[in-house]
Amino acid sequence: DAGVIQSPRHEVTEMGQEVTLRCKPISGHDYLFWYRQTMMRGLELLIYFNNNVPIDDSGMPEDRFSAKMPNASFSTLKIQPSEPRDSAVYFCASSSASGGATGELFFGEGSRLTVL
Amino acid sequence: LAKTTQPISMDSYEGQEVNITCSHNNIATNDYITWYQQFPSQGPRFIIQGYKTKVTNEVASLFIPADRKSSTLSLPRVSLSDTAVYYCLVGEVLTGGGNKLTFGTGTQLKVEL
């Protein structure tokens, strides 16, 4: 399996622009997680899905952030409008049913976002 | 209260055994203990997971005492390539299913010649 695939790997945009990050989880995995990593705050869980349904979005910073999972093989994280403080590395991770319950996640390489 | 507490950094030399201890005083009955490794510019990578006693795989060993309030990740004979950040996580199993994993600050391990 190719693992969790994220795109783009790098994105530089200007404040106020819309940003869309994409994730393809490992085939057959039931859970999908979006994390954000910064030097100041470390790794933060933003939202996670189970069988394409959002279960917990309490980590989403504010209404400018939204995430969708239209099918089992694709998810997006959208920021509109983007702000400089959104600059971070965004990771997508997936896990099987048992892994999601106990903690074995498979992470993608991340999308490094820079908002100028 | 922090979910887990671990040292911010550790230094070691090639060939030595490294033990990183994590405190999780408020661990719940259903929680598993999981360790991840992260290299710069990469996503975290699962190392090992356990519930109690000792778990060993080809990469590391995980020691968990009977009270489960702490755990120790043991890396045998480290090499330069083991330089990374190591995260200890305790899983919060939710009623709706799934696991809300919280990453702490991690331990930056630096291995030197």
B57: which residues sit within 8 A by CB, 6+ positions away?
B48
CA gyration radius for chain B? 14
DSSP letters, B98-113, are SB-------EEEEEE-
Cα distance between residue A76 and residue A86, in whole Å? 16
Which of B43, B91, B104 has its CB closest to that of A110? Answer: B43
Q: What digits encode the pLDDT tens for the residues B52-82?
A: 989 999 999 999 999 999 999 999 999 999 9
Give chain A positions within 8 Å (CB) of B44: 43, 91, 105, 107
Q: Would you call A102 exposed, middle or buried from its count of C-beta atoms within 10 A (0-12, 13-18, 19+)? A: buried
Which residues, given as ranges, of chain B have pLDDT below 70?
1-2, 92-100
Give chain A positions within 8 Å (CB) of B89: 103
**What is residue B93's predicted lDDT score, i.e. its pLDDT?**
58
Other beta carbons within 10 angstroms of residue B10's beta carbon come to 15
Other beta carbons within 10 angstroms of residue B79's beta carbon come to 11
